[in-house]
Structures are given as structure tokens and as C-alpha cells.
Amino acid sequence: MAIAIALLILCACSNEGIAFKKAEQSYAIGEYYNASIQYKKSYSRCKPKERDKRAVRAFMMGECYRRIGYTQKAIAAYQSAIRYNTLDSTAYLSIGRQHLKAGHYKQAELYLNKYLEFSPDDELARSGLISCQLAPEWKAKPNQYKIKKEAFFTSRRSDYSPMLVGDDADQIVFSSTRNDATGDDISGVTGIKFGDLFTSRKNEQGKWQPVEVIEGGVNTEYDEGASCLSPDGKTMYFTRCSSDPDYPRYAEIWESKRSDASWSKPVKCAISRDTLSSFAHPAVSPDGQWLYFVSDFPGGEGGLDIWRTRILENGFGGMEPLGRPINTPGDEMFPSFRPNGDLYFSSDGHPGMGGLDIFRSYEDSLRGTIVENQQFPLNSSADDYGMTFEGVHNRGFFSSSRGDGKGWEHLYSFECPEILQTVTGWVYEKDGYELPSALVYMVGNDGTNVKLSVKGDGSFTQVLKPGVDYVLLGTCKGYLNVKNEIRVEQSEESEEYTLQFPLPPINVPVLIDNIFYEFDKADLTPESTEALDRLVQMLNDNPNITIELSAHCDYRGNDSYNQRLSQRRAESVVRYLIQHDIKKDRLTAVGYGESRPKVITKKLAETLAKGDPKVEVAEGDILTEDYILKVKGKEDQEVLNALNRRTEFRVLRTTYGTTLKEYKP
């Protein structure tokens, strides 16, 4: 009998050692869920009198639970380690920070003060103590954020890192470990399925449609997580974590290009040659020049830090940490941008509510970089992160593990009322369609100097500052520039300025609307002044062009008379321009009489079909005398005759005042 008992004891000890070895192996490659199971087995197989062993295994259980978000289990494990007199004093720091995450502020204060007896200068412990004081105050006085859990997107697993996309923010992309994710394997890191990127769109009634796996080659059997889009919507960056049973596998950032309605097969971003650091949570700056990301690359402040690298035409430039005051010895993660340039990120290193809190960072001309906690109710004692904004407005979505006992994240909507002054503009071809490849340059007398890309419909929206004078220049390759100026006054309510940028094409004649002459004469009427002044402005905005100013007549009347009349009319316009300081050698007046009838464009055909009266014409039709006389109805004929009676200009050169060769359209 004694021999049998001895063999059982030896077997138990052997099983304990095997479990501990497996736990250490899993922990070394980052499989914290698998490691927690083995540490627990090893702990339970240790005798209570083996206090040193139990302390080590309990502490490591706590480390695993902390990393996978099992807050209550982590607290219990650290408590066991302390009960067995762990030699690792960081157990006091860790259990204090886990109590913070659970919202147990008095217990957190107790353990953090205990840890400071060992390490009196520890920054994370002191930050935690500040949190213990601030968090209850913030909860007692919530700010104006309105928070709502979005049940439509909620699954039985984790849903996190939302990203609103589309010109009207009518599509959402987010990460999820729901059952529909690719593959059947269970992650050794989290104990649930690997995540994939999912999407949903709004229908015409503004209702979100069923969630689907994102199309294209992005998702794999591995973990696909936090993602972002470039400002033009053509490139997606996302996080991928592969797995290997024998070696640690670090998070990587991958890139995919938009191909029609889906995404191309991604390629890994070569940010650094370092293969022993993680690169995750990408975010592109609003100007499209910088890729921000999270890494434990050497040279940071400790833990995970936010870094950035310049986006080049064929890759990336060197990487640099953001440094203080943004990065801390804790973890800074999940950067994202509001269109006005404000950086939002999550941190457990700054004073906050408990776990990861959402912070806003912006530049102040006097105080430098400002970092602000967004407080309660946007933040909770749990993990809050992954902000995405609906255009320029302070509303959108984020993810939070609040209220979930297993620590799984879900999507929440947020809205914070604010007085917002914005400008919305449309850039389009004069007499034509929108120009989605246009750029708008905005300069303010406060030092503002930004380049704005437009959406697919040629529009843009930008936040303005009260008391600032702005100049906005609409540009596009192959078109002349158009400038607008606005002065933003102080306002007690939100206000939107609306601007139009009708860009004249360089290589085709451009109609000058609302030029009127005295009947059967070349004299300009007073009603023409506004249109002529716009032409003066256009020439000033494009100082390197010369133009031919032409006038045209309809077919009625003598040919030679019409030619002479149109010539005199063109000269009248040129004289007006010269009187308003446009140099004479930039202008050529030509009267074409009835020799160049109007050619119908697609846009003009659509406009005439909707007019009163409705006139049916087709793109490419030429309004000759024979063509017009075949049209039924005198009223319709008069509409077409009026189109022939026009004043136009076309660009002759784009190199006036330079030494370059003449432009030939």
C-alpha cells in the first residue's frame, strides 16, 4: 500500500511538472489562454505546503488572465500569489491595476500604495493612484457624451475596432470573433476563434443591413484585426496575427488595394526589418502622409507605444515614436483620427477610469501637445478603444468591454453635441460632372495650410475656426483653378458654409454664363457685371494662362453682319477685362458669327431634357440652322437658338510669364 501511495505522489509531481513545462512553452509563444489552463493544472497539483511553487504558478495565471482580459480571474490569481508570499512585488501593482479595471477603486488604492513601498518612483502606480481619485469624480459628473450599445452588431463573442467608410459614412467595417469567422481553429491566445473583418452597409432608408464577411482576399484562417483606410479610400491597412506551434508570432500590418467592389490579396507592410517586435493597429493621418501604428519596438517609453512612419510612393520612410506626453510606460494603443487632425488613442498608462481609456490629443499653439481623457460615460473602468467618426461630426462608434463578464468587446455608438462651423464644397467641371480627383487647398490667416481630397461625388467638408479668414483654391489636373474666400464669424450654433468650384477645362471652350448685350448692339448691359467680375477673378487665380475670348450668334441675320457684331461683342468683353487690370497680351478677341454652332455635351443634353420646355437632344448633336429648323415647336427652336448666342473663352497658353513652350490643347 505504501508503495502505491508513493507511486501516486510521484505521478502527481510528474504531472505537475509536465503541466508547468507546457504552460511555460505556451506563455513563451504568446498563447496565454493555453498557458493559463496549464498553469492552473500545475497550481492545483502543487501541495498547499509548496508555497513558493504555488506563488509562482498563481502569479503566472494572473499574468495570463490579465493579458486575455479575464479581470476577475486575474484578481483571484494575483491574490493567491500574494497569499503564498510571492517574491515578485509587481503582483501588488498588477492586482491594483486589475482592481482599477474592475472599478474597485478603494481596493486598487490599497494595493498600489503597497507596491509603492517597494518601488516609490513607479510611474504606473502613481498614475493609478490619481485614477482612484479622478474616476469616482468623473462618474459623479458625467459629460455630454451619449453612449448606446449597438445590439444590431453584437455577437456572442468579441466585436471591436469599428471603422466608418464611404462618402456618407454609410458602411462600417469591424473585427469580430463571431462564429462566421473563417476557419474552425481556436486561438491559443484568447481561447476563442480567430477574428475576421466584417462589414455592413446602410440601405436607401438608412438602415444597417445584415453583417457579412468583407469581400476579397483579406480574411484568412489567422487573426485579422484593427483596420483603417487611406483618405482616398483606395488602400486598407489592417493587423494580422498568424500562429506557430513552436515560435512566437508577432502582430504585423498588412495592406490591401481596392479592386472594384472587393479588396485585393494583401501584402505585408515592410515598416522595419525587426522580426521580434509587434506592429499593429494602423491609422492613416488625414493628409494621407503618415501611417501611425502600435509597437513594442525598442526606443519607446515602455509597454506598447504609438509610432509613425511616412508613407512613400514605394514603401515607407523611417519610423519614429510619438514620445511624451502621448506615450507612457503603460500601453498606448488603437490610434485613430478625426478629420480635423485630432488624434484619438487608448491608454492604461495615463490617469483614467481603469482599463484602456480613450484620449484625445491635439496641438495648442501655446501649450504644445495636449492629451485629454474623454472621461465618463465614453470611458468606463473596462477597456474602451477604437474610435471612428461620422465625417466631421463628433459622433460615430467605438468598442468597449464594459458590462461583459468575460471581457469580450462590443460596439457602442457615441455622440457629443458641439457647436461646429464647417465648409462644404463641390468641385466639378464647369458645365459638366464632378471631379473626384480634385484637390482643394485651404489657407487661413491663422496659419492654417491644408490640402483636402474630395469624395467620389466631388465634395468635401472641413471644420473651420471662428474669427479666421480662409482662401480655398479648387484644383484638378487639366482644369483651371477656382478660388473662394470666406470669413468665419463667431456663432452660438452650428453653421455650414457652402461653396461651389466649377473648374473650367483647359482643352475645350468654356461658356461664360449671364453675359448680356444691348439688343442688336455690342454694348454690355449692367446685368453682365457679376459674370464679368467672376471672369476677372478666374484670370487672377490663373495668372499663367492666356485666353481667346469669343462671341457667337445664331443663324438669323446676314452672315457678314453677324460676324462683325460678334467681333465687336468679343472686343467689348476684352475691354472690360483690360479696364480691370488684366494685361492686354493675355487676351484675344474673336467673333465667329454663326460659323461655330454649339455642340451638345452629355451634361447639357440631360439639362435640356429636364427643362421647361423639355428639349430632346443627344450628346454630340451640332446646332446648325438645318438641325434647329427640323426641331418641332418654335419654343424648342428658340431654346436652341439661345444656346448658339453665347460668349466663351478657351485657353491658348498655360505658360504666360514663364520661359516654357506654348501649351497646345
**What pLDDT shows up at residue 184?**
81
Q: Around Cβ 573, how many Cβ atoms within 10 Å? A: 25
Cis peptide before 210 (omega within 30 of 0): no
Mean pLDDT of the 644-653 span: 93
Residue 14 in this model has a pLDDT that exceeds 80: no
Q: Does 69 have pLDDT greater than 70?
A: yes
Mean pLDDT of the region 336-354: 95
Helices and strands per DSSP (H, E), number in the chain: 12, 32
Quote the Cα angle for 610-614-616, to 5°. Answer: 100
Task: Read off the amino acid at residue 56.
Answer: V
Q: Is the dihedral of CA 614, 616, 620, 621 positive or negative?
A: negative
Contact 486, 470 (CB under 8 A): yes
Domains for the chain: give ranges and CATH numbers: 12-140 (1.25.40.10), 148-415 (2.120.10.30), 421-503 (2.60.40.1120), 510-653 (3.30.1330.60)
Q: What's the Cα-to-Cα distance from 210 to each of 164, 168, 378, 657, rounded to whole Å?
A: 16, 19, 26, 59
pTM for this predicted structure: 0.81
Burial track 85-96 (b if 16+ CB lie within 10 A, e otherwise): ebebebbbbbbb
Cα angle, residue 25 at apex, residues 19 and 26 outer, rounded to 5°: 90
Predicted confidence at residue 542, as pLDDT, reads 93
- The single-letter code of the amino acid at 486 is I
The DSSP output letter for 381 is: S
Which pLDDT value is given to residue 282?
Answer: 97
| Helix/strand/coil for 625 | helix
Question: Is a pLDDT exceeding 50 seen at residue 10?
Answer: no
Given a cut of 70, whether residue 3 has pLDDT beyond it is no
> Sign of the C-alpha dihedral, residues 413, 383, 76, 100?
negative
Taking alpha carbons only, the member of 493, 430, 482, 486 closest to residue 462 is 486
- pLDDT, tens only, 79-136: 999 999 999 999 999 999 999 999 999 999 999 999 999 999 999 999 999 999 999 9
pLDDT at 664: 41
pLDDT of residue 548: 95
Helix (H), strand (E), coil (C) string for 64-115: HHHHHCCHHHHHHHHHHHHHCCCCCCHHHHHHHHHHHHCCCHHHHHHHHHHH
d(CA 472, CA 501) in angstroms, rounded, equals: 9
Task: Write down the pLDDT at residue 8.
Answer: 41
Q: Is the pLDDT assigned to residue 392 strictly greater than 50?
A: yes
Q: Contact 228/175 with Cβ under 8 angstroms? A: no
Report the half-sphere exposure of 221 (CA within 13 A, side-chain side). Answer: 6
Phi, psi of 62 (to 5 degrees): -60, -40
CA distance 415 to 363: 23
Radius of gyration of the chain, Cα coordinates, nearest whole angstrom: 34
Inform me whether the pLDDT recorded for 11 exceeds 70.
no
Share of the chain above pLDDT 70, in %: 97
Per-residue pLDDT for 144 more than 50?
A: yes
For the chain, the first-to-last Cα distance in angstroms comes to 105
pLDDT band with cut points at 50, 70 and 90 for residue 660 = very low
How many other C-beta atoms can be found within 10 angstroms of the C-beta atom of residue 97?
27
pLDDT digits (tens, 9 = 90+) for 579-588: 999 999 999 9
Whole-number pLDDT of residue 492? 85
pLDDT value at position 445?
A: 92
**Contact yes or no for 598/623 (Cβ under 8 A):** yes
Bridge-based pairing of strands 384-389 and 368-373 is unpaired
The answer to whether the beta carbons of residues 59 and 86 sit under 8 Å apart is: yes
Is 266:238 a contact under the CB 8 Å cutoff?
A: yes
For residue 9, how many C-alpha atoms fall within 13 Å in the half-sphere facing its CB? 7
d(CA 54, CA 82): 10
pLDDT in tens, 562-575: 999 999 999 999 99
State residue 4's pLDDT score. 42
Confidence class for position 659, pLDDT limits 50, 70, 90: low
The backbone region for 565, taken as left when phi is positive above 0, alpha when psi lies in -120 to 50, beta otherwise, is alpha
pLDDT of res. 362: 94
The model's confidence at residue 13, banded by pLDDT at 50, 70 and 90, is low
Q: Using an 8 Å Cβ cutoff, are 361 and 370 in contact?
A: yes
Q: What is the dihedral of CA 13, 17, 23, 29, to 10 degrees?
A: -170
* pLDDT of 649 over the 60 cut: yes
Average pLDDT, the chain: 91
